[in-house]
């Protein structure tokens, strides 16, 4: 157990950061006088005390971490931080006379921090603004990752921060350094994220949103989270300008933030379009949006102009794993919603705030399939897999194949578990896929004009596990279950 004391000490520091984050909704509550301040104060105190006890009690054991410590810390952080983030929600809903069960509160905060966007709360329009602010602010913090922020601002992590950064970073190629120091890289990525957030908030304000609405929807747009302060999501505003701003920033946040960071350091966008993953992400999203739009027009669902508006917006929203909705796409031809759900698994780039398999893995999988087909006719030919003109090591290919296998197994097993509870196939499969892809709404009973509250507590717990597995990209979590991990 002593071997893991540094991990628990770092977890304590992260919990104190979470306590500090609760000052944001507290300030909103005090400013608006919505009588929810006591809920955030209690949450801050409990979280700070728990974090302080772990950090102060164990800091003498050092903070240097090995790779396996990074795996353990990342997993513990994504499991434990939502527990404390749920405290203000539980207290606030009790104060409102609408008690929220622990399972529902934990689902809501996991959905927030993992940027999934699923919700079990109805009547969002009537909630105190500070409660909606906390829900959406959690998504903004989880978008770039609280752990990446920790690497950026906590120098006590030292060299161990690199282990934390590698485990937390999404995608198969985690060893590419943008700067010599991981802390510098993390600061750069968070700077890009903050800059994009500022422009997005200003864009929504320009489009006609009130300042707090613009801020809350910025939180869930750049994080590709999709939670809203309204039951009808972004459709509440009935504004083409709002939807255009959302589309621009959903597309921008779906691309690798490292590309923006590198472009800013060079002072030039030259070569930006040459990145194969960026091209794949944008072409798939825009091409799919156009295809769905034309399908809606051809099937006489909407006139051409409306088909383009609703088809492009909702396709990009779901494909980017944001999950905003301006129409109930379950009433579209069945091909469209199924296509949208499948796109949520592959369209976003590694290094973005999106979920799913990631476009780079799909590209590598296609190139590996092409290599195997070529080997059938030329078995002695040596054909390395290349991406962007660079040879990809075989260990990366093997890691991609392992991830795809575990991804498929996770979706299959969790779907079968939900089917055991007599849930219908469409709802079970789409709820699991939406959870694992960190996308939010699914199909059937958990479609865009409903939410996960229609499920029972056990089913919600299964979806919560799916969100955690999706955010941890499966392998990190499953590695903890291996006996060899716990051997010193």
Structure confidence at residue 64 (pLDDT): 59
| Rg of the chain on CA atoms, in Å | 22
Q: Is 177 helix (H, G, I), strand (E, B) or coil?
A: coil
Tokens 């050092």 correspond to 62
CA distances from 170 to 41, 63, 293, 352, 420 (A): 34, 24, 31, 8, 32
CA–CA dist 472, 403 (Å, integer)? 11
Residue 44 contacts residue 23 (beta carbons within 8 Å):
yes
Q: Please check the confidence at residue 45 and state whether its pLDDT lies above 90.
A: yes
Q: Please check the confidence at residue 159 and state whether its pLDDT lies above 50.
A: no
pLDDT, tens digit, 9 for 90 and up, residues 88-140: 999 999 988 888 899 999 999 999 999 898 899 988 988 999 999 999 999 99
Mean pLDDT of 12-16: 89
Q: Please check the confidence at residue 390 and state whether its pLDDT lies above 50.
A: yes
CA–CA dist 355, 323 (Å, integer)? 12
Instruction: Read off the tokens for 153.
Output: 């601002």
Neighbours of 102 (CB within 10 A): 11
Stretch among 44-48, 442-446, 456-460, 477-481 having the lowest mean pLDDT: 477-481
Closest by CA to 245, choosing from 273, 214, 272, is: 214
Q: What is the dihedral of CA 105, 111, 117, 123, to 10 degrees?
A: 0
Mean pLDDT of 280-305: 95
Confidence band of 3 (pLDDT split at 50, 70, 90): low
Give counts: helices (H), strands (E), the chain. Answer: 20, 2
Structure confidence at residue 430 (pLDDT): 94
Kindly state the helix (H) or strand (E) to which residue 387 belongs, with its residue range: strand 386-387
Mean pLDDT of 68-77: 79
pLDDT, tens digit, 9 for 90 and up, residues 310-343: 999 999 999 999 989 898 899 999 999 999 999 9
Most confidently modeled of 40-49, 52-61, 477-486? 40-49
Confidence band of 237 (pLDDT split at 50, 70, 90): very high
Instruction: Read off the tokens for 457.
Output: 């507590």
- Residues listed for the chain: 488
Please report the DSSP string for 25-61 in residue order: HHHHHHHHT-S-HHHHHHHHHHHHHHHHHHHHHHGGG
Please state the domain extents for the chain: 2-182, 396-486
Q: Please check the confidence at residue 53 and state whether its pLDDT lies above 60.
A: yes
CA–CA dist 297, 290 (Å, integer)? 11
pLDDT, tens digit, 9 for 90 and up, residues 407-431: 999 999 999 999 999 999 999 999 9
């Amino acid at each position: 157990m002593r071997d893991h004391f540094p991990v628990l000490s770092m977890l304590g520091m992260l919990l104190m950061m979470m306590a500090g984050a609760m000052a944001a909704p507290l300030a909103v509550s005090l400013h608006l006088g919505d009588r929810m301040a006591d809920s955030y104060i209690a949450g801050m105190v409990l979280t700070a005390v728990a974090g302080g006890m772990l950090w102060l009690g164990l800091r003498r054991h050092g903070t240097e971490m090995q790779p396996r410590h990074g795996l353990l810390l990342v997993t513990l952080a994504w499991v434990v931080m939502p527990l404390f983030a749920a405290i203000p929600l539980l207290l606030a809903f009790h104060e409102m006379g609408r008690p929220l069960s622990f399972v529902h509160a934990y689902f809501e905060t996991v959905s927030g921090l993992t940027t999934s966007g699923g919700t079990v709360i109805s009547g969002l329009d009537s909630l105190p603004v500070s409660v909606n602010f906390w829900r959406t602010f959690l998504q903004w913090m989880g978008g770039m990752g609280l752990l990446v922020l920790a690497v950026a601002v906590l120098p006590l992590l030292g060299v161990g921060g690199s282990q934390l950064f590698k485990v937390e970073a999404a995608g198969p190629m985690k060893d590419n350094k943008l700067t010599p120091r991981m802390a510098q890289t993390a600061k750069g990525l968070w700077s890009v994220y903050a800059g994009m957030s500022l422009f997005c908030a200003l864009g929504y304000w320009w489009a006609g949103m009130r300042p707090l609405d613009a801020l809350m929807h910025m939180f869930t747009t750049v994080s590709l989270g999709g939670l809203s302060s309204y039951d009808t999501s972004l459709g509440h505003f009935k504004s083409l300008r709002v939807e255009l701003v959302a589309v621009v920033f959903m597309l921008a946040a779906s691309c690798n933030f490292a590309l923006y960071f590198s472009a800013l350091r060079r002072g030039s966008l030259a070569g930006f379009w040459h990145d194969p993953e960026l091209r794949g992400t944008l072409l798939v999203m825009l091409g799919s949006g156009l295809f769905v739009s034309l399908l809606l027009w051809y099937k006489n669902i909407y006139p051409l102009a409306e088909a383009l508006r609703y088809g492009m917006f909702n396709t990009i929203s779901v494909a980017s794993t944001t999950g905003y909705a301006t129409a109930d796409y379950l009433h579209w031809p069945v091909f469209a919603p199924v296509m949208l759900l499948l796109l949520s698994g592959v369209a976003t780039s590694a290094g973005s705030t999106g979920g799913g398999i990631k476009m780079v893995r799909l590209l590598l999988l296609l190139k590996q399939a092409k290599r195997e087909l070529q080997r059938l006719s030329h078995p002695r030919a040596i054909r390395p897999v290349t991406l962007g003109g660079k040879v990809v090591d075989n260990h990366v290919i093997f890691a991609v194949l392992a991830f795809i296998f575990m991804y498929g197994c996770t979706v299959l097993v969790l779907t079968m578990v939900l089917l055991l509870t007599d849930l219908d196939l469409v709802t079970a499969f789409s709820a699991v896929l939406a959870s694992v892809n960190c996308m939010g709404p699914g199909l059937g009973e958990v479609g865009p004009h409903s939410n996960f509250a229609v499920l029972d507590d056990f089913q919600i717990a299964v979806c919560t596990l799916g969100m955690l597995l999706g955010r941890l990209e499966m392998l990190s979590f499953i590695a903890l279950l291996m006996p060899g991990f716990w051997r010193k």
